Amino acid sequence: VFFFFQAEDGIRDFCLSRGLGDVYKRQPLVVQPIWKDYWKQKRGFFKSLIQFIFNSIKSVFMLLLDFDLLYYTAYIGFVLLGILVHPFFFAFHLTDFLRIEVLKNVVRAVYEPKLQLFLTFCVFILFEYYFTIIGYTFFYDHYQGRCGNLWRCFLTTIDQTFKNGGGVGGYLQDPNQGEPGSPGSYVNIARFFFDNILNIILVLIIINMVAGIIIDKFGSRKDLLHEKEQDILRVCFICGINRDKLERSSDGFFKHIKKDHYMWNYLFYQAYLMKKQSTEYNGTESYVSEKIKKSDISWFPLKRALSVKDEAEEESQKLDLLNSVTSN
């Protein structure tokens, strides 16, 4: 299967999809720091066993933090269940649609404000409980026999709040009121306020608060995605120089990010330093290695490029040219 991907440096050339293989191949790199010193140090049998168990638990915990690993493991598991148990298990694979970047933002818009949504849900339950107390005290006989105790009345109130267009008031029935228009019909003022206040607070205000939180988060995620896309398409990942300046001062933006500052070359260089013995480093390699250990990126050519002249240098050249013209 062939795929086209939008990479950090623009549009990546087509390549064979190796997503599942790449996920499992990178796991040794995740747990490598945990086991790095285990094989070098000499211990007794029991100390070694305890350390082995501790490292194993820590490794499993680190692997469980990798969402891709969990997802593809579940993917394989549901494939086997679909083959061996029932084809309905193949329905899990439809979740691939949720991995589209736009849909990811929709899911994140619901997941990321989880604290706000949880607290809003607590407020909703609190008001449901308050209205249940009022209903249980004054309108227990309006619940059509489903309000024998406070707990059952509470569940009925929650259940019927969204099943009726007017909230729980659409479910409650006054046993003393006749049919509408009949001589025995009347307006229950207490029920009028109870039904409408419950509907306004629970159905209109709090539910719209939830929708507002999700919409606000989705809007911020959308703006962040747009900003990220603009940064990818208009700024060099290595030097941070704007695309417009690169177009004017060099052979073009895409040539710059593909040849002059090809970001993967910097990653390959770090891998090269990791594999090379530190005793064989030259001066430049020792300098860069120390910077990498300190998570210092000052060795990157920030705001500098061979194909782009420095602004101060350009200004100096213009002044020299102006001086030479005026002197003549």
Return the minimum-mean-pLDDT range out of 32-36, 241-245, 290-294, 312-316.
312-316
- Per-residue model confidence as pLDDT tens digits over 217-266: 988 888 888 888 888 888 888 888 888 888 877 678 888 888 888 888 88
Q: Per-residue confidence at 49, pLDDT binned at 50, 70, 90?
A: confident
- Bridge partners (DSSP) listed for residue 2: 16
Q: Bigger pLDDT: 21 or 288?
A: 288
Enter the pTM of the model.
0.61
Cα 316 to Cα 67, 241, 308, 309, 312, distances in angstroms: 53, 20, 15, 11, 6
- Reply yes or no on whether the pLDDT at 9 is more than 50: no
Return the minimum-mean-pLDDT range out of 73-77, 84-88, 303-307.
303-307
Mean pLDDT of the chain: 81
- Bridge partners (DSSP) listed for residue 308: 305
Q: Quick one: which H or E segment has residue 321?
A: helix 311-327
- Bridge partners (DSSP) listed for residue 295: none
Question: What would the mean pLDDT of 292-314 be, rounded to a whole number?
Answer: 78
Type of residue numbered 170: G
3-state helix, strand, coil in the chain (%, to 5): 70, 5, 25
